[in-house]
Structure 1
């Protein structure tokens, strides 16, 4: 399968490398063709790894992944082009984190909206699924880094799109039962609001190899 990834940071490159290792073809997209991180990644990724613009990544991907910062995601996807996203599964892994000069973290949007919902509103023909935004990049593609049972969340309006994302997560090593479907895209509000808490846990543990494990009564 062909994937287009919008964003060349740690999350984008981690997802791209995993997809390549699974035999998929990936175009890693940046604002301009001369992006050093994207071109260096493509040079060492073999014949299935490519670098391109946001538009080229969106055009090439059967599934598109938004791995940009949440506060600039709509802008980046606008550069990718609504016509190139139409009808495609769009996995949104972003979080709208805003860091103050003193290091305090807030979210924009928050509470009554989410970046996942904004993306779906701005690109109504895309099939947006929020996923993978509640854990560190290495754990996204290697759940075994944390022992025992733990969970990853998905949310979106299109059942077939969520099934496609679930299949990708299973390829990454997530057991089917670990993938919790939280319902429509509005549920992205809750998963995005977990991130300030996640950052507190990171400071507490001193590392990022942890995750949420949801238990219910029998």
Structure 2
């Protein structure tokens, strides 16, 4: 599958490594695509097999687009790319927005909802924003099973994203479909609890697990 990842930070690089390793054709999209230092960093991290292009070029050739940009910059960047280039595509949204004072930039509506509302012909699926980048492609590094969530209005798009999560090492039994894109609010708001847990245990390298009630 051809995957265009917008963003070259820790999340973008982790996902690029995971999906490239699973045999997907990945391109990274960046406004700094001509920056020789960035290209050198990416080559050192990911090897020469993951090209970097401008955001529009990364999107046009992709079957799935991944938003791994800072949450406060996501919609403006997608608007620059343009709705026609995004129409009909699955957009996997990983981002959460924070203001300069550390508050959520989308307290009443999730970023995932804003992207879906702004680009109605694009099938947005929110996932992976409840775990640290280093674990996104290495769920087996955790001591036990962990849960990863999906939110989106299009069932087929969620099945596509579920397959990509499987390719990162997340077993199907770890995937929990929360429902429509409005449920992305819960995923994004969890980031505040995530930061609290990280501070309490001194690490970002943890997962969470939804435990069903006993049947007895």
Using structure 2 for the length normalisation, give the TM-score.
Answer: 0.93
Q: State the Cα RMSD in Å.
A: 1.5
Aligned partner of 2:140 in structure 1 is 144
1:4 aligns with 2:4: yes
User: Over residues 176-215 of structure 1, what are the superposed CA-to-partner deviations in whole Å (9 max), with x where a residue is unaligned?
Assistant: 0110000000001111000011011111111111111111
1:108 aligns with 2:105: yes
Aligned partner of 1:84 in structure 2 is 85
Aligned partner of 1:65 in structure 2 is 66
Unaligned runs of at least 5 residues, structure 1? none
Distance 1:121 1:12 in 2: 24
Aligned partner of 2:151 in structure 1 is 155
Q: Is the 8 A contact 1:113 1:189 kept in 2?
A: yes
3-state DSSP of counterpart to 2:116: helix
Unaligned runs of at least 5 residues, structure 2? none
Distance 1:99 1:145 in 2: 32
Distance 2:186 2:205 in 1: 21
Change (3 A) 1:142 1:90: same
Distance 2:32 2:67 in 1: 16
Distance 2:60 2:67 in 1: 13
Distance 2:169 2:131 in 1: 15
- Within 5 Å, give how 1:133-212 maps onto structure 2: 133-212=129-208
3-state DSSP of counterpart to 1:119: helix
Q: Structure 1 residue runs of 4+, over 6 Å off?
A: none
Tell which deviates more after alignment, 175-184 or 47-56.
47-56
